[in-house]
Amino acid sequence: MKDSEHPFFRPLWRRVAIVAVCLVWAVIEFASGTPFWGMIALGFAGYAVWQFFYLYKPADESRPSAGAEPEASAEAEPKE
* Mean pLDDT by groups of 10 residues along the chain of 80 residues: 74 92 97 97 94 77 52 57
pLDDT of residue 9: 83
d(CA 6, CA 16): 15
pLDDT of residue 22: 96
pLDDT of residue 13: 92
Model-level pTM? 0.67
Helix (H/G/I), strand (E/B), else coil: 45: helix
pLDDT of residue 62: 47
Which sequence spans correspond to the domains of the chain? Answer: 3-54
Asked if 66 contacts 33 with a C-beta cutoff of 8 angstroms, the reply is no
